[in-house]
Amino acid sequence: MMRTLVEIGGGLLLLVVLGHFQFELTDLRDRQAEVARLEGLVERNATQVEARRDLETLRHELTEVVDNRLAGIEARIEEARKGVREASFLEQELRRAQQEAASLKDEIARDVSRTQELVRSYADELKRTDEVVREHTAQNGQRLEELSGQLRPDPEVLTRELLLPTVQLEGRDTVGSGTLVKSERNKDTGEVENWVLTAYHVVRNIFSDTPNAKRDGIDISVYDASGRRTRVRGQLVAHKRSIDVALVRLDSDRIFPNVAKLLTREEASHVMVWDEVYAVGCPLGNDPIPTRGSVTSTRNVLDGANYWMINAPTYYGNSGGGVFSAERRALAGVFSKIYTHGRGTPVVVPHMGLCTPMSTIYDWLRSEGLGNVLEEGVPGSELPTGDLAVGTETDPAEGEPDELPELASPGK
């Protein structure tokens, strides 16, 4: 701003000096004309004043007047020249000021450019930081929501994901439980397929006390959110006595909305003691009810098969029902047996139950060629076509299975 004012002041001063110099030159010309006129007047009047005064004296006086005026004019001319020199100096100063101003403008422009670049870089960094913070916030929010769901699960979600996939298998004097693990239309055949996992001894006991069930199918109740049950028949497709599991296909072309999520192999391999679980089944013929507990052991070998032990309360009728991971709300195993104490009149120990892990069930289904029932895309796994094979057994040396009691005692 100061340099701009200097430039303007210098320009104005230069204009004033040049104007003054022009004025002095004009005045000088006027006075020279006057001198010439006076000289002419002297010449004309020389003869007239010759008689009155001495011509030499008159000339001397006129010369003195002219000299004085010329001296004054020269002084003014010198002033004008001095003003011109000052104007020239001011003009040079003005040029230097203009150059410095231009240099300053360039420097300011460079500083502004660098500042803008730094601001853009800082803004980009803030944007990236904001994106990272948003991402972490979303992840933390999701994790907090998951933890909140684990600490205080939504009853409606638990009902939909754990209770409603549970079905009841009924015989004349026998009741057991199962879990609906798949209900959808087969992409290849177009047929609706409904699959239930249960314990083999439940199916075996129903076949024993209800002879027509092997031919006509097992009576199975599927529940909905309103508490109503749909009665359908189910056919035994495959079973394995040594791990006490069975796969049943429902005779229904209806797609049921509530199907259990399944614990993956990877998740099942990380189940540990203290992990919380829900046991869901139909004890004593009741509609499905849940109980909560935890895994108390992952190593319990019985008749050559390994079972997990849980302390969620269970009783007669829970057999075949689901044991669900409380954290994942996914099927972790099929409930098989509970411990008893005493031989004459055995007492049930309801907090010591055994279940077959999902990892064992996955291996069994794959060996049966039914891996795609629960594990889509397993090489060599295909659904059976044509008539379903009822009561198939993977142990060729088994023959007619021995009685498998619902209650298992330690060491038996």
Whether residue 385 is predicted with pLDDT greater than 50 in this model: the reply is no
* Token pair recorded at residue 73: 């004019």
Angle between helices 55-151 and 2-49 (to 10 degrees): 170
Number of CB atoms found within 10 A of residue 394's CB:
14
Radius of gyration of the chain (CA): 56
Query: Could you give the CA distance from residue 153 to residue 377 in angstroms, rounded to a whole number?
Result: 32
Read off φ and ψ for residue 356, nearest 5 degrees: -85, 120
Binned at pLDDT 50, 70 and 90, residue 6 comes out as: low
Cα 27 to its chain centre, rounded Å, is 90
* Token pair recorded at residue 30: 């006027």
- Beta-bridged to residue 348, according to DSSP, are 340
Whether residue 374 is predicted with pLDDT greater than 70 in this model: the reply is yes
> Tens digits of per-residue pLDDT, 342-355?
887 888 888 999 99
- 253: helix, strand or coil: coil
> Tens digits of per-residue pLDDT, 256-307?
999 999 999 999 999 999 999 999 999 999 999 999 999 999 999 988 899 9
Q: How many CA atoms lie within 13 A of 360 on its CB side?
A: 24
Query: Could you give the CA distance from residue 323 to residue 68 in angstroms, rounded to a whole number?
Result: 132
Contact in structure between 213 and 219 (CB atoms under 8 Å): yes
Which is higher by pLDDT, 71 or 256?
256
Which is higher by pLDDT, 127 or 250?
250
The average confidence (pLDDT) of the chain is 82
Place of tokens 């800082």: 122
* Cβ neighbourhood burial of 147 (10 Å; 0-12, 13-18, 19+): exposed
- 222: helix, strand or coil: strand
pLDDT number for residue 355: 96
Which is higher by pLDDT, 186 or 278?
278
What's the farthest any 2 CA atoms get from each other in the chain? Answer: 185
Whether residue 35 is predicted with pLDDT greater than 90 in this model: the reply is no
Which is higher by pLDDT, 187 or 65?
187
Query: Could you give the CA distance from residue 29 to residue 116 in angstroms, rounded to a whole number?
Result: 62
* Token pair recorded at residue 237: 């497709």
> Tens digits of per-residue pLDDT, 130-171?
888 888 878 887 776 666 555 667 899 999 999 999 999 999
The model carries a pTM of 0.59
Dihedral (CA of 175, 176, 179, 180) sign: negative
pLDDT number for residue 97: 79
* Token pair recorded at residue 216: 């006509």
pLDDT number for residue 152: 67
Place of tokens 């397993």: 378
Read off φ and ψ for residue 233, nearest 5 degrees: -100, 150
- Beta-bridged to residue 183, according to DSSP, are 194
pLDDT number for residue 386: 33
Place of tokens 């004296």: 57
